[in-house]
Amino acid sequence: MKLKFKVQPYQTNAVESVVDCFSGQPNLSGTTYRVDPGVVVNKQGQQGWDYGDQDGFRNADIALSDTQLLQNIHNVQSRQNLPVSDGLVSNSSSKINLDIEMETGTGKTYCYIKTIFEMNRRYGWSKFIIVVPSIAIREGVYKSLQITQEHFSETYHKKARFFVYNSKQLHHLESFSSDSGINVMVINIQAFNAAGKDNRRIYDELDDFQSRRPIDVISANRPILILDEPQKMEGKKTLDALEKFKPLMVLRYSATHKTTHNKIHRLDALDAYNQKLVKKINVRGISVKGLAGTNAYLYLESIETSKSAPVARVEYEVKQNSGIKRVTRKLKHRDNLYELSNGLDQYKGFVVSEIDARTDFIEFTNGHKLEAGDATGDVTEETIRRIQIRETIKAHFEKEQKLFSQGIKVLSLFFIDEVAKYRDYSQADEKGEYARIFEEEYIEERNRILYELPLENNEYRQHLEQIEVDKTHNGYFSIDKKTKRLTNPKEKKQGDEKLADDVDAYDLILKDKEKLLSFDEPTRFIFSHSALREGWDNPNVFVMCMLKHSENTISRRQEVGRGLRLAVNQHGDRQDHPATVHEINVLSVIASESYKDFVGNLQKEISDALSARPKKADVDYFTGKKLQTEAGPLEVSETMAKQIYRYLVKNDYTRDDDSIAPVYHEAKANESLAPLPEELAPYAEEIFKLVDSVFSESQLPKVGDDRKPKLNRLNDNFHKQEFKKLWERINRKAVYQVDFDSDELIANCVRVMDNELRVTPLQYTIQAGTQGDSVSYEQLGAGKGFQITATQTEYEATSVHSTVKYDLIGKLAEGTKLTRRTVAAILTKIQPSVFNQFKQNPEHFIAEATRLINEQKASIIIERLSYDTTNETYDTDVFTDAQTGQDLSQAVGVLKKHVFDYVVTDSKVEREFVEELDSSKEVVVYSKLPRGFLIPTPVGDYNPDWAIAFQEGSVKHIYFVAETKGSLSSLSLRGIEERKIECARKFFERLSGDVDGEKVKYDVVTNYSELMSMVAG
């Protein structure tokens, strides 16, 4: 397997947020200095190093004034509607400290590696140090540098030289200093702030390093420090050590910043979940309940749907010849546990009276009631752990059966409370209690799966049968207190088989990500004590089990973060298609507490992490915010802010304290928001984004109950002739082509750019000041000996960039995906006065020109688009693949005319639509189209909502494909969504031309009445 990477807009935004803070900085290659310094003595008699101007390359100094830097930071913050900094937040390490907040699992490592390349391309900086708090994170970063090397080489046409700092391999540091290309050093904090002899070598004059101190050679490069998880590096010893690196700047990347500096980018838990950049979380909790008057042991594992009535999977005790044994069996209505247990007295009166698949409970004739996840009777600590391990294995198999055919390997991760519980060296086979329980439960569950598996699923059956139970689980621990072997084994010593196993586990789990993701590697279950709780991640962790007591030092959010990254398949492709991302990417957490308790605590942690978000939607909040309109950024005036505020108050979308009320989010989800005032309507999309940025408890990511998802079975409606005919007419795959007219595009772009391209000139600030009285030498050195007496802002007629060579055509061709010839034709035809703006601010000119060209390109693409059908069709598996894990508690059902028993709807509009479809006399059969049914468009794949077949003779159009929307206003259907619908119209027009007999009509409707008027006319 080879992991693949692609350019994603949200990651590009994170990179640009950093790089744009230095807009106006000259593009200078590394400044030379002497690698082998001599000793000099300053006026105070202090010794220091004399770095000359030869042999080495260091980062060029920042040429921008503090005022220019702060203005750039303000611009970056304003376009994201982040709080604007009062000033540059400096500390002992650096004057420039930038915070980049990125939720765990969204690729912050990728982002800062790309930032390294972009900083080099734009400004020439080439010396970077990535500082990490642990070995696991260090190995992950080093692996990321390796696997992204080819990807970035294709984009930037150069490679970075990278290495992990090792005080005994200082030749890497020599090259780091002397090489003029991009150089990246990865170092963990223990290498410079621990008390150990080897770790302190960084501060010692070393004979094997020409009597130099490594820290002096490092600091001479004026490196850019990138701190990964900086909240773990805030101890005084670490901060003092970072100061010795003499960084040019410090970039801090984390999902949970503890100390705020200049925050320039935010992609928090809400953003990541709403943009579908991370997995959806489901929790399978275990609740111990006492049933009055009984000591009967019962554990309700789950409620399952079946072709007849629901069944309950229950663990209970059975009297056997060898003694009493606990077994798990399926119970149906009227089953008698006293009889099934072979006469155990504690089960007298336990006759199943009701099983409810919608609310997940079972009730007995004696009044006892259990919800899924409830355990009662003799429930010990060992019982809970065994249940958790069993549930993890069960959840693993459920996901594996669904994802194996899609080429996705499922991994499960256990967090344990004690190493000896898994690896016990006092035992001959070294298996601890958890390892033994795991193997017992795994064998039983695997055998059940093989027995129930359909015979046609031979490939998965063979895969499962060939995996040996003792090879499918493994462990990595930061340290084994008995042998000290597992921290970072270096090599396999001859005759030491145990150490060899440890090395293999270390390499597999921390380094060989591709191998671990391959079906050829049998390891699917990983046990860890604490080493993998932060920093380490693997995209295919789908199940996590907390085999431990709750700890205050490690948050649920940190642990859950190890499984949030979106999965990849055997080809290394990321499973991030918007239509199916949260059907494939669901993380199941097996907790040792009830679902309600775990979710409540997890959401509180998420809520606390969102404390930096604004809490009030008042006039002050909206005033000055930036709306990204088609004509460019628009600042919200105080008058507009008052209008927005009055709109929210009038519709009860805010509470008395100006916080956002749940009714707002409910209305938005149901597509029933009240229309904005006429003057605000053109900016509706951006205004609602501003409202959504205000924190509300009702916005927190929905954490599902992992026991709720069930199989939604296809029923007899699926096999009706009417549906077969409908499906035959729409299941053709197609390709699109665009009859692109370059001359028309050039003419349109020239016209728009002449009229709308406006570039803001760069400005600089002149300050005058006088030296104060009694100024010390130290104050002068720190720039604090002057008092400002006058400030004047001037605009430059030509930018400092005018001395920098820019490939303007190349940059625009890259940003617009047009040929250099087409871009050159556009630039040569625009007005000279427009083109001359490039000299005033090259970056702004490129950004605005790219935006305007892309808008014109999109318009022409839609106008000139046409479809051709292929011989490929969608298989009926597209229906069953999407129905294996649906939460039916909020679904509409049981239905008469739908192809499934239940319909999971997305809004109130859809729920009402379903109810009317199902009761309509004209409708024969209908289906909510599965997420895998996609129409290709130039702006992304499109998944229509409904396919409906009507009674012949009742309407003009028997076959109809519908999209349901709460409003047909062009203000509600904007941008990409509107363009996808336009493409779908053309697709179905072309499709109807390929079929004989009844055509398929496609349109957008708001309700059933509107649908009927369309099919009748």
pLDDT(489) > 70? no
Helix (H, G, I), strand (E, B) or coil at 447: helix
φ/ψ (deg, to 5) at 617: -100, 65
% of the chain residues with pLDDT over 90: 42
Query: Which residues have a Cβ under 8 Å from the Cβ of 159 and sit 6 or more positions away?
Result: 149, 152, 153, 181, 182
Helix axes 458-465, 433-452, angle to 10 degrees: 150
Q: Which residue blocks in 585-678 are alpha helix, DSSP H?
A: 595-609, 619-622, 638-650, 662-669
Structure-derived torsion over alpha carbons of residues 809, 813, 818, 822, reported in degrees to the nearest 10: 0
Contact criterion met (CB below 8 Å) for 679 and 975? no
Q: Residue 138: in which H helix or E strand, if any?
A: helix 135-147
Unique residue bearing structure tokens 């239509």: 579
The pLDDT-based confidence of 52 (bands split at 50, 70, 90) is: very low
CA-closest candidate to residue 257, choices 96, 98, 20: 98
Distance CA(137)–CA(249), nearest Å, equals 22
Residues 261-300 have pLDDT tens digits of 999 999 998 899 888 999 999 999 999 987 666 789 999 9
The pLDDT-based confidence of 806 (bands split at 50, 70, 90) is: low
Tokens of 624: 């000055």
Distance CA(128)–CA(139), nearest Å, equals 17
Contact criterion met (CB below 8 Å) for 802 and 839? yes
Q: What is the pLDDT of residue 251?
A: 97
Contact criterion met (CB below 8 Å) for 168 and 214? no
Residues 183-240 have pLDDT tens digits of 999 998 888 876 666 567 788 787 777 778 888 888 899 999 999 999 888 888 888 8
Helix (H, G, I), strand (E, B) or coil at 735: strand
Distance CA(430)–CA(176), nearest Å, equals 44
Tokens of 744: 């028309």
Distance CA(497)–CA(614), nearest Å, equals 57
- The DSSP bridge pattern shows strands 411-416 and 473-476 to be unpaired
Distance CA(834)–CA(827), nearest Å, equals 10
pLDDT(895) > 80? no
Residues 1-35 have pLDDT tens digits of 788 888 888 999 999 999 999 998 988 765 565 55
Q: What is the pLDDT of residue 795?
A: 45
Instruction: Select the more confidently predicted residue: 794 or 748.
Output: 748
Instruction: Select the more confidently predicted residue: 722 or 971.
Output: 722
Residue type, 626: K
> Of the given ranges (237-241, 691-695, 778-782, 882-886), which has the lowest mean pLDDT?
778-782
The alpha carbon of residue 19 and the mean position of all alpha carbons in its chain are separated, in whole angstroms, by 22
Strand partners, 298: 316, 376
How many of the other CB atoms lie within 10 Å of CB of 456? 7
Residues 562-575 have pLDDT tens digits of 899 999 999 999 99
Q: What is the DSSP secondary structure assignment for residue 509, as one 8-state letter?
A: I
Distance CA(528)–CA(512), nearest Å, equals 17
Residues 64-105 have pLDDT tens digits of 999 999 999 999 998 888 989 999 988 767 889 999 999 988
Name the percent of the chain in helix, strand, coil, to the closest 5: 40, 20, 40
Residue type, 588: S
Q: What is the DSSP secondary structure assignment for residue 119, as one 8-state letter?
A: H
Distance CA(632)–CA(840), nearest Å, equals 18
Instruction: Select the more confidently predicted residue: 986 or 709.
Output: 986
Distance CA(603)–CA(597), nearest Å, equals 10
Residue type, 860: I
Tokens of 799: 């930018």
The pLDDT-based confidence of 430 (bands split at 50, 70, 90) is: confident
Distance CA(362)–CA(355), nearest Å, equals 5
Contact criterion met (CB below 8 Å) for 25 and 75? no
φ/ψ (deg, to 5) at 773: -80, 150
Residues in the chain: 1017
Unique residue bearing structure tokens 């970035």: 152
Q: What is the pLDDT of residue 488?
A: 44
Query: Which residues have a Cβ under 8 Å from the Cβ of 963 and sit 6 or more positions away?
Result: 944, 945, 946, 981, 984, 1002, 1003, 1004, 1005
% of the chain residues with pLDDT over 70: 86
The pLDDT-based confidence of 485 (bands split at 50, 70, 90) is: very low
Distance CA(60)–CA(58), nearest Å, equals 6
Query: Which residues have a Cβ under 8 Å from the Cβ of 240 and sit 6 or more positions away?
Result: 92
Query: Which residues have a Cβ under 8 Å from the Cβ of 653 and sit 6 or more positions away?
Result: 647, 660, 661, 663, 664, 667, 691
Query: Which residues have a Cβ under 8 Å from the Cβ of 453 and sit 6 or more positions away?
Result: 401, 460, 461
The pLDDT-based confidence of 865 (bands split at 50, 70, 90) is: confident
Contact criterion met (CB below 8 Å) for 125 and 119? yes
Unique residue bearing structure tokens 């009402």: 912
> Of the given ranges (323-332, 523-532, 618-627), which has the lowest mean pLDDT?
523-532
Tell me: cis bond preceding 894? Omega within 30 of 0 counts: yes
Q: What is the pLDDT of residue 740?
A: 73
The pLDDT-based confidence of 311 (bands split at 50, 70, 90) is: very high
CA-closest candidate to residue 94, choices 313, 247, 254, 253: 247
Helix (H, G, I), strand (E, B) or coil at 263: strand
Q: What is the DSSP string of 53-76?
A: SSSEEEPPPP-S-HHHHHHHHHHH
